[in-house]
């Protein structure tokens, strides 16, 4: 530390008139007094502190919320909670095996036809229909056993079934009341009831006879 001039020290202590100091000491005296005044003053609050203080003082608008049981349940469900998951090794391995089975194994192939059975696929174009089903000799002409579906709503109805090999007569029933021959059947036979109506004819090949 550099020694301070005794005359400057006396002026700072109030024991000497600062006006009697030489010019260089007078300037040093003035700087020291300014610094002392700056340190003695209360420092202004920082900008961040002022902003936070402003936010704390501003009251938040409180929405009017119902306090019914559904609201309380929703609030209970959405309230943040700390959840701790402890995976044991056995459970972890089982979970991994299950996921691998789902991701890696091929999807279920569906029913497998026997040696004397074959697969029949039905397709019909019925735009605007609400339901289409296949009724025929393979289901005793019973309703509700073989429905076609139109998943993409393009009017094309599809379905399939495993049927005994051989000849089957059938018709489509559209919207539960309209009996329509399969326009794609390729084979038809008079239904024998005297009105000239034709059944579609399907010949199912045994799966063993197909390449």
Partner 1 sequence: MRWMQVLTLALLATPVGLAAQNGGVTRLPGRVPAAALPAIDSIIATAVAESLPTEPLVQKALEGSAKNIPVDRLVNGVRRGLLQLRQARAILTQAVPGQSPPEGHIAAVAAALARGLSGPIVERLLTVAPTEPPGPALHAAADLIAHHFDPDSATDLLVEAHNKGLRGVRLLDVAVAADHELQRPGGRTPSEALAHVRAILPNVPVPRRP
Which residues are near partner 1 by CB under 8 A? Answer: 110-111, 119-121, 135, 137-143, 145-146, 149, 159-164, 166-167, 169, 179, 186-195, 197, 199, 201, 203, 205-207, 209-211
Q: Are 141 and 100 in contact (CB under 8 A)?
A: no
Compare residues 5 and 188 and give the one whose CB is closer to partner 1.
Answer: 188
DSSP for 26-38, written as a single string: HHHHHHHHHHHHH
Least Cα distance to 137 among 115, 105, 167 occurs for 167
Cβ nearer to partner 1, comparing 18 with 166: 166
Residue 188: HSE in the Cβ half-sphere, 13 Å Cα cutoff: 12
CB of 133 to partner 1, least distance (A): 11
Least distance from partner 1 to the Cβ atom of residue 139, Å = 5
Are 148 and 158 in contact, with CB atoms under 8 Å apart? yes
- The answer to whether 144 touches 133, Cβ cutoff 8 Å, is yes
Least separation in angstroms between CB 146 and partner 1:
6
DSSP 45: P
Crossing angle of helices 6-13 and 23-40, rounded to 10°: 40
Nearer to partner 1, 75 or 178 (CB): 178
The CB-of-209 to partner 1 minimum distance in angstroms stands at: 5
Least Å distance, CB 99 to partner 1, is 24
Q: Which is nearer to partner 1, 50 or 147 (CB)?
A: 147
Residue closer to partner 1 by CB (options 98, 186) is: 186
> CB of residue 78 vs partner 1: minimum separation in angstroms?
38
Strands (E), 93-149: 117-125, 132-136, 147-148
Distance, CA of 101 to CA of 88 (rounded, Å): 20
- Which pair of structure tokens corresponds to residue 148? 């076609």
Whichever of 29 and 168 has its CB closer to partner 1, that residue is 168
């Amino acid at each position: 530390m550099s020694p301070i001039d005794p005359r400057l020290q006396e002026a700072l202590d109030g024991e000497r008139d600062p006006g009697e100091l030489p010019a260089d000491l007078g300037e040093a005296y003035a700087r020291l007094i300014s610094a002392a005044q700056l340190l003695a003053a209360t420092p202004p609050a920082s900008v961040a502190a002022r902003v936070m203080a402003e936010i704390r003082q501003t009251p938040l608008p409180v929405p009017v919320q119902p306090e019914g049981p559904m609201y309380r349940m929703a609030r209970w469900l959405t309230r943040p909670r700390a959840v701790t998951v402890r995976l044991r090794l056995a459970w972890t391995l089982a979970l991994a095996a299950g996921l691998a089975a789902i991701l890696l194994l091929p999807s279920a192939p569906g029913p497998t036809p026997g040696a004397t059975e074959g697969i029949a696929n039905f397709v019909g174009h019925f735009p605007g229909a609400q339901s289409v089903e296949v009724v025929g000799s393979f289901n005793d002409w019973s309703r509700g056993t073989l429905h076609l579906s139109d998943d993409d709503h393009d009017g094309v109805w599809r379905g399939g079934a495993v049927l005994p090999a051989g000849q089957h007569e059938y018709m489509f029933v559209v919207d539960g009341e309209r009996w329509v021959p399969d326009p794609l059947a390729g084979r038809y036979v008079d239904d024998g009831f005297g009105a000239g109506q034709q059944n579609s004819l399907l010949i199912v090949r045994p799966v063993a006879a197909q390449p």
